[in-house]
Amino acid sequence: MLIDFFYTLRAAQLPVSVKEFLSLLEALEAGVVGPRSEDAWSLDDFYFMARLALVKDEKHYDKFDRAFAAYFKGVEAAADVARELPSDWLTQMLERELSDEQKAALQKLGWDELMETLKKRLAEQKGRHEGGSKWIGTGGTSPFGNGGYNPQGIRMGGQSKNKSAVKVWEQRAYQDYDDQQELGTRNIKVALRRLRRFAREGNELELDLPDTIRSTAANAGYLDIKMVPERHNNVKVLLLMDVGGTMDEHIQRVEELFSAVRSEFKHLEFYYFHNCVYDFMWKNNRRRFAEKFPTWDIIRKYNKDYKLIFVGDATMSPYEILQPGGSVEYNNEEPGAEWLQRLTHAFPKFAWINPEPPGVWQYRQSISIIQQLMAQRMYPLSLKGLEDAMRLLSK
């Protein structure tokens, strides 16, 4: 059985060697993990041991997870929320479609009213509800739950459907963007080269042909080789990337961009954020709450000569930008707009790259707000958009 598992990992382009696979078999034979009872094996224990034995670099964790789930089928990550809700409350049992007239008749709750109402529902509700307009449940028009419709609410479990939630009640696992993605990066690299600024740095590694000819001629024809340091692109880039949520639709294109940026710019620093920048960012999505990088420290660490590039779809609730506590994941003390202004003030050369097509920008309030905060320096994730952004940053 595990031979097929090994080939599944190799098919997923994981660098798993036969020696590592044999180490996994030895661990199984030694009983490092085993059945919790006489007839039931712990798949979770096997998962962690297999990952430890077979994966040597954290950047491959996401590929391993997908291959593991594909092979063993049905592996799902459980949501970890601040207060546990009964799982049957959030189980989708029906699919309800509302007409445009019914949707228009629904009223939005203001931010404060939404939060206060949620507190009351959590205190009052005793059982599961479905298809209603008040309680936490599924398939209805209540602002709390999933699978239904409300113009502004809090999604609890389930999958994003209408993109109208202002907060999400779950601990979501995001994946790091793969910086080894090569498909389609060639043209992106060409566009990024508009930002290049070369300087000769390092040891003497490159032949200086013109000076060699001059020196040889001046030396009565005796060869006099002259070397110069190799030319490197000395542009410094600070890349801040939105990850998770609606950005999942754009993973492949952002990975192509990330791969191209990693190969084109020697001086690159990158961080992740979700939807909007707040008081901290992170470098590893699996440890985003354990290894936080305060935004103030990032602002102070890098000089003004860094080119600041945001990558994100800017698609979120306006509260996430303008309201303290507006983040979908935690209660931020200051609104995201304050942090965006601090970053753009600290790094005068900045631009925002948006993977959403420009045709939808005017219909999303959050994109309009971000455009204003970015002084209209928002460009689409297209070859022309990248060329325009690089031309702006190179001035």
Same domain, 317 and 384: yes
C-beta separation of 53 from 18 below 8 A: no
Same domain, 130 and 149: yes
**Is 133 part of a structural domain of the chain?**
yes
**Is 256 part of a structural domain of the chain?**
yes
Compute the radius of gyration of the chain from its Cα atoms: 26
Q: Is residue 320 pLDDT above 70, yes or no?
A: yes
**Is 174 part of a structural domain of the chain?**
no
Q: Report if pTM > 0.75.
A: no
**Is 78 part of a structural domain of the chain?**
no
Structural domain boundaries enclosing 207: 198-232
**What's the pLDDT score for residue 39?**
47
Alpha-carbon distance of 186 to 201, in angstroms, equals 26
Six token digits for residue 86: 């009964």
Q: Is residue 150 pLDDT above 70, yes or no?
A: no
Q: Is residue 76 pLDDT above 50, yes or no?
A: no
Strand 165-169 to strand 198-207: parallel, antiparallel, or no bridges (unpaired)? unpaired
Q: Is residue 58 pLDDT above 80, yes or no?
A: no
Task: Report the half-sphere exposure of 250 (CA within 13 A, side-chain side).
Answer: 23
Q: Lowest mean pLDDT of 9-13, 49-53, 221-225, 307-311, name the range.
A: 221-225
C-beta separation of 380 from 354 below 8 A: yes
Q: Is residue 242 pLDDT above 90, yes or no?
A: yes
Alpha-carbon distance of 380 to 395, in angstroms, equals 19
C-beta separation of 299 from 342 below 8 A: yes
Same domain, 13 and 97: no
Same domain, 33 and 97: no
- Residues 247-275: tens digit of each pLDDT: 988 988 898 889 888 888 888 899 999 99
Residue where one domain finishes, among candidates 72, 96, 111? 72
Alpha-carbon distance of 263 to 91, in angstroms, equals 45
Tell me which residue of 333, 335, 188 sits closest to 275, measured CA to CA: 335
Q: Is residue 140 pLDDT above 90, yes or no?
A: no
Same domain, 221 and 357: no
Alpha-carbon distance of 152 to 168, in angstroms, equals 12
**What's the pLDDT score for residue 259?**
87
For the chain, how many structural domains are there in total? 4
Strand partners, 307: 237
What's the mean pLDDT in 166-194? 60
Percent of the chain residues topping a pLDDT of 90: 25
Phi-psi region of 285 (alpha: psi -120 to 50; beta: other; left: phi over 0): alpha
Higher-pLDDT residue of 121, 89: 121
**Is 79 part of a structural domain of the chain?**
no
Same domain, 203 and 191: no
- Residues 185-219: tens digit of each pLDDT: 666 776 777 776 544 455 556 667 888 888 888 88
Same domain, 243 and 106: no
Same domain, 239 and 348: yes
Same domain, 255 and 303: yes
- CATH number, domain of 295, equals 3.40.50
Tell me which residue of 309, 238, 315 sits closest to 274, measured CA to CA: 315
Q: Is residue 74 pLDDT above 50, yes or no?
A: no
What φ, ψ does residue 58 adopt, rounded to 5°?
-60, -25
Same domain, 228 and 153: no
Q: Lowest mean pLDDT of 48-62, 88-102, 277-291, name the range.
A: 88-102
